[in-house]
C-alpha cells in the first residue's frame, strides 16, 4: 500500500489527485486500483476534470442539501455537515488498471473532497491488485 499526503487550503474544496494515483500504477499490466481516504470528513470521487465548475456545482449542491450548523454532531465540534457530506460521497473508489494505466473515461479524474479544512496532513491510501 502506498500513501499520498496533501494539505488543503479551504474549508471545502475538490482536488484532482489523478496524476499522483496514476504514477502508482505504472508497471501493472491489468488489475484494480483502490483509492481510499481514512478521514471521516473527506471523500474520494471520480468525476469530470475538464470543467472546474463541476466541482463547484457539487459543493453548491451539497451545501443546499446539507447546510452548516443544524446537526446534532455540531454540539461536539461544529462539523456535522462535513461528516454527512463525506458519508454520502464515500471514502473510496476502485478503478480498473489496463495496460499500465488507470482505465478512466476521457473526461474523468480522481478527486479528493475536503469538507472540514483547511488541514495540513490528509492521507490517501492507494492499493493496487494485479
Q: What domains appear along the chain, each with residue ranges and CATH number?
A: 2-129 (2.60.120.460)
Per-residue exposure over 92-125, b if at least 16 CB sit within 10 Å of its own CB, e if not: ebebebeeeebebeeebbbbbbbbbbeeeebebb
| Residues, the chain | 130
What would the pLDDT profile of 53-112 be if each residue is shown by its tens digit? 999 999 999 999 999 999 889 899 999 999 999 999 999 999 999 999 999 999 999 999
What would the pLDDT profile of 4-40 be if each residue is shown by its tens digit? 999 999 999 999 999 999 999 988 999 999 999 999 9
pTM more than 0.75: yes
Cell numbers linked to 45:
470521487
φ and ψ at residue 89, rounded to 5 degrees: -80, -40
The answer, yes or no, to whether the previous bond of 57 is cis (omega within 30 of 0) is no
Distance CA 28, CA 11 (A): 36
Torsion angle of C-alpha atoms 83, 38, 94, 127, degrees rounded to 10: 180
Distance CA 7, CA 70 (A): 27
- List the one residue out of 25, 62, 57, 26 whose CA is nearest residue 43: 62
Amino acid at each position: 500500500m502506498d500513501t499520498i499526503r496533501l494539505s488543503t487550503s479551504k474549508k471545502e474544496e475538490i482536488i484532482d489527485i489523478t496524476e499522483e494515483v496514476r504514477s502508482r500504477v505504472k508497471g501493472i499490466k491489468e488489475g484494480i486500483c483502490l483509492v481510499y481516504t481514512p478521514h471521516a470528513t473527506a471523500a474520494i470521487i471520480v468525476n469530470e476534470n475538464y470543467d472546474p465548475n463541476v466541482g463547484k456545482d457539487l459543493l453548491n449542491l451539497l451545501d443546499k442539501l446539507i447546510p452548516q450548523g443544524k446537526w446534532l454532531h455540531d454540539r461536539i465540534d461544529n462539523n456535522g455537515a462535513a461528516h454527512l457530506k463525506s458519508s454520502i460521497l464515500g471514502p473510496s473508489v476502485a478503478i480498473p488498471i489496463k495496460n499500465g494505466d488507470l482505465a478512466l473515461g476521457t473526461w474523468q479524474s480522481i478527486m479528493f473532497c475536503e469538507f472540514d479544512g483547511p488541514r495540513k496532513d490528509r492521507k490517501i491510501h492507494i492499493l493496487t491488485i494485479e
